[in-house]
Structure 1
């Protein structure tokens, strides 16, 4: 079995009135190549006639955002002309690539009625060869994401990307990456074989688990050593996990605000291109 190098506690990092815990980066972990960033928004309840999510138009270049809507909704708009409202159980996959402007706000219906809200946003790096790829966006509702049952139904994987027990995920990414959300009932068990050289991304959204012999709980990110290929998970309560793994790029990472590139010069170029209008125009 792989050993756990460290458990990293997500830190409180509220954004306006939005409850937010940042799991990556924190003082104890900078990144898990190629996984760069994870914000856990909520859970919280919005009152009727609320202002909704605070993420107005902003640019990105050089990476991908994967957004998991656990409760509530998100309305996406971007400078490539994409628009959608994704509801609970769905995901948004945006490849920023060479650059675009987007906004992630609540739908008019959610602002009017309020309700439960819980959202995860994960940033995944792109390798140098894909950093300037053409931007694209896919929004998927819950019904669009294949479900894979394990342990006689005590474990349900929502296959977002890659291959899970022979079932292809809803997305086939540009890079060699697998992502799923995993629902586990008390006592449920899941065993996976993941080659030792791959980076595992394991974040407990809620509940308590035993992972390769160690107990962990909600809002903790596990960092693994590269010393084994077996992952064994047991639910000590009902639990939900964000689980992924990927081949690390082992490239320089230079990040500044909304841009993630390989060199400082590329970051400066990104700012110049954004100011020159090369990320498109905002029509929202």
Structure 2
């Protein structure tokens, strides 16, 4: 048996300059999917040679984590904790903002010079109050660093958490999530039938990046966030065409959420303190 589809939420178009951006979360009818806060789907698009690249210069964060999935192109990361990397297609950048840092997500000089295809998913994941002031951390994974499980007509790229396969046993992703989060990308060929983990009591995050698939006879719509029932411990997806999914699950925090711009805390007072700390230089600095 599988969880079933309750509702599908379309991604809203909200371009950032010349960067094509769709946002299914938050959106009309869904403010958050605890503990998942936000998803931006950038691209797909092709940048010409001598482009300006991505527009995400230095900016602060506190109280949550960001996970960037680089589906096409490259993404450069630099933060005030001293972390720096350039991650290519198939890779992931996982940043724990925690108590606060400044970071920049930009295109490498080679990409700005030569151009090329770009598609990136950026997910914001909340931290519980007890971890909001945890020390900042960063993990940059190239595609080869990610646990890849090959199933019939399907490929699972596991970032964090566990995945149990009849043919491969139990596999763990390379990132040890502070909150036990499971995250993966799933690539399906037509005719694939795949059961994905969905522990009872946890919220499933399922975004259809592109393609054609269905759950329990309900067709999934591309560029939609899928809200599922909490009735079974698996989600069975069947592909009617090629499809790419962003999939995960996590225990809801069930805590108050106070957010403003780049800060996500539990109270308005904590948001005000975050601004004060940032303005006082407590998040550190990086060159603009």
TM-score category (smaller protein)? over 0.9
Give the structure 2 partner of residue 91 of structure 1.
92
On the 8 A contact 2:4/2:216 being kept in 1, the answer is: yes
Give the structure 2 partner of residue 218 of structure 1.
222
For the residue of structure 2 that corresponds to 1:118, the secondary structure is strand
What is the CA deviation profile of residues 59-117 of structure 1, one whole-angstrom value per residue up to 9, with x for unaligned ones? Answer: 00000000000001111111111111000000000000000000000000000000000
On the 8 A contact 2:8/2:221 being kept in 1, the answer is: no
Give the structure 2 partner of residue 14 of structure 1.
15
Q: CA deviation at 1:283?
A: 2.9
Give the structure 1 partner of residue 265 of structure 2.
261
On the 8 A contact 1:149/1:155 being kept in 2, the answer is: yes
**Aligned partners of 1:89 and 1:65: how far apart in 2?**
17
On the 8 A contact 2:67/2:92 being kept in 1, the answer is: yes
Unpaired segments ≥5 residues, structure 2:
165-169
Q: CA deviation at 1:193?
A: 4.3
Give the structure 1 partner of residue 35 of structure 2.
34
Which stretch of structure 1 is more off in the superposition, 13-22 or 188-197?
A: 188-197
On the 8 A contact 2:208/2:225 being kept in 1, the answer is: yes
Matching of residue 158 in structure 1 with residue 162 in structure 2: no
Give the structure 2 partner of residue 50 of structure 1.
51
Give the structure 1 partner of residue 167 of structure 2.
none
**Aligned partners of 2:21 and 2:172: how far apart in 1?**
31
Give the structure 1 partner of residue 211 of structure 2.
207
Matching of residue 76 in structure 1 with residue 77 in structure 2: yes
Matching of residue 188 in structure 1 with residue 192 in structure 2: yes
**Aligned partners of 2:192 and 2:252: how far apart in 1?**
30
2:237 to 233, 247, 255: 233
For the residue of structure 2 that corresponds to 1:29, the secondary structure is coil
Q: CA deviation at 1:207?
A: 0.2
Number of aligned positions between the proteins: 282
On the 8 A contact 2:163/2:197 being kept in 1, the answer is: no
**Aligned partners of 2:37 and 2:274: how far apart in 1?**
18
**Aligned partners of 2:119 and 2:159: how far apart in 1?**
18
Alignment of 1:131-150 (within 5 A): 131-150=132-151
TM-score using structure 2 length = 0.96
**Aligned partners of 1:122 and 1:193: how far apart in 2?**
19
On the 8 A contact 1:79/1:283 being kept in 2, the answer is: no
For the residue of structure 2 that corresponds to 1:110, the secondary structure is helix
What is the CA deviation profile of residues 2-46 of structure 1, one whole-angstrom value per residue up to 9, with x for unaligned ones? Answer: 232210000100000000000100012110000000000000000
Residues 237, 38 of structure 1: alpha-carbon distance in 2 compared, 3 angstrom cutoff: same
Calculate the aligned-residue CA RMSD, in Å.
Answer: 0.9
Give the structure 1 partner of residue 247 of structure 2.
243
On the 8 A contact 2:207/2:223 being kept in 1, the answer is: yes
**Aligned partners of 1:105 and 1:218: how far apart in 2?**
27
On the 8 A contact 1:72/1:117 being kept in 2, the answer is: yes
For the residue of structure 1 that corresponds to 2:241, the secondary structure is coil
Unpaired segments ≥5 residues, structure 1:
none
TM-score using structure 1 length = 0.97
On the 8 A contact 2:209/2:245 being kept in 1, the answer is: yes
Which stretch of structure 1 is more off in the superposition, 109-118 or 185-194?
A: 185-194
